[in-house]
Amino acid sequence: MTAASPSRLSINQETIKQWSLEELAEGCTSAGISRVGLWRSPVQEYGVERAAKLMRDAGLSVTSLCRGGFLTATDPELRTAALDDNRLAIDEAATLGTDTLVLVSGGLPPGARDLAAARERIADALAILAPYAFACGVRLAIEPLHPMFASDRCVVSTLGQALDLAERFPASHVGVVVDTYHVWWDDQAPAQIARAGATGRIHSFQVADWITPLPAGVLLGRGKLGDGSIDLRAFRSMVDATGFTGPIEVEIFNESLWARPGPEVLTEIVERYRQHVLE
């Protein structure tokens, strides 16, 4: 790490998706970045053990693995498959040496309209998965997704809902992800961040900015830090005020970033992180 590097910054690999895992390791190391967040699919393609060694050899620590979850199916076969896949994700997280598996809980099954019942099925699944994860040294981090994803990706839409689920379990087993993109609009977010911090349940802190117009499908509409409506510094301060000293992960899904050379994107991320997230 260079003297000038922001020590808490973690680069979520989806932000510079054009990079292979090897390019990510090389690029981050060259830039003095010592933390990365990884995704299952590229890690599986590269080989989990091999990816773990690559990161270790580069001196990179893995701050989170994205993602487990999708725990809302009613069909017994789908449900069993989801639980099996989450156990595998937990194993992968342990192999990578990260203590945090991010969960995107899942949307409504086809034809379903009962959000409360879907949220209960998540709780039921957590009761099965959390002890397994704990035994593997991995914490499950429930990520509330913006309410625009409530039907198709994640019925957990607010930090309050995520904490209502997490608090049924020990903080060492289940916590939450605070992602500015998903919670910025919520006037309850400051109180819920305090609640999460007070019980040691902020297992991951991610930053991205909110910009409009949203693209079709809305998934790839995240803004670069500083381009949008979110007071990122205020959120960082709120999270810090709880005593959280963990990584700050930049996770931006934006096709314009993927179209540029990785090193250039990384340099810009570091600059914007300093300018808009740090003081």
Q: Which residues sit at the interface with a copy of itself, rule CB under 8 A? A: 108, 112-116, 119, 146-148, 150-152, 157-158, 160-161, 184-187, 210-218, 228-231, 234
C-beta of 146 vs 173, nearer to a copy of itself: 146
Buried b (16+ CB within 10 A) or exposed e, 30-63: ebebbbbbbbbebbeebebeebbebbeebebbbb
C-beta of 13 vs 158, nearer to a copy of itself: 158
- Write phi, then psi, for 224 (nearest 5 degrees): -65, 150
Place of tokens 């989170």: 64
The sign of the dihedral angle between the CA atoms of 223, 238, 178, 152 is negative
C-beta of 10 vs 161, nearer to a copy of itself: 161
The nearest distance, CB 130 to a copy of itself, in angstroms, is 22
Sort strands 209-210 and 222-223 into parallel, antiparallel or unpaired: antiparallel
The nearest distance, CB 230 to a copy of itself, in angstroms, is 6
C-beta of 5 vs 151, nearer to a copy of itself: 151
CA 154 – CA 245 distance, rounded (Å): 27
Q: 157 Cβ partners below 8 Å, 6+ apart?
A: 144, 145, 146, 147, 149, 150
The nearest distance, CB 184 to a copy of itself, in angstroms, is 8
The nearest distance, CB 176 to a copy of itself, in angstroms, is 15
C-beta of 22 vs 120, nearer to a copy of itself: 120
Beta strand residue intervals within the chain, DSSP E: 9-12, 35-39, 61-69, 100-104, 139-142, 174-179, 202-207, 209-210, 222-223, 248-250
Token representation of residue 53: 């060694």
How far is residue 231 from each of residues 27, 39, 49, 202, 210, measured CA to CA in Å?
28, 27, 39, 19, 10
CA 157 – CA 169 distance, rounded (Å): 19
The nearest distance, CB 211 to a copy of itself, in angstroms, is 8
C-beta of 144 vs 262, nearer to a copy of itself: 144
- Write phi, then psi, for 268 (nearest 5 degrees): -65, -40
The nearest distance, CB 67 to a copy of itself, in angstroms, is 19
C-beta of 80 vs 229, nearer to a copy of itself: 229
The nearest distance, CB 116 to a copy of itself, in angstroms, is 7
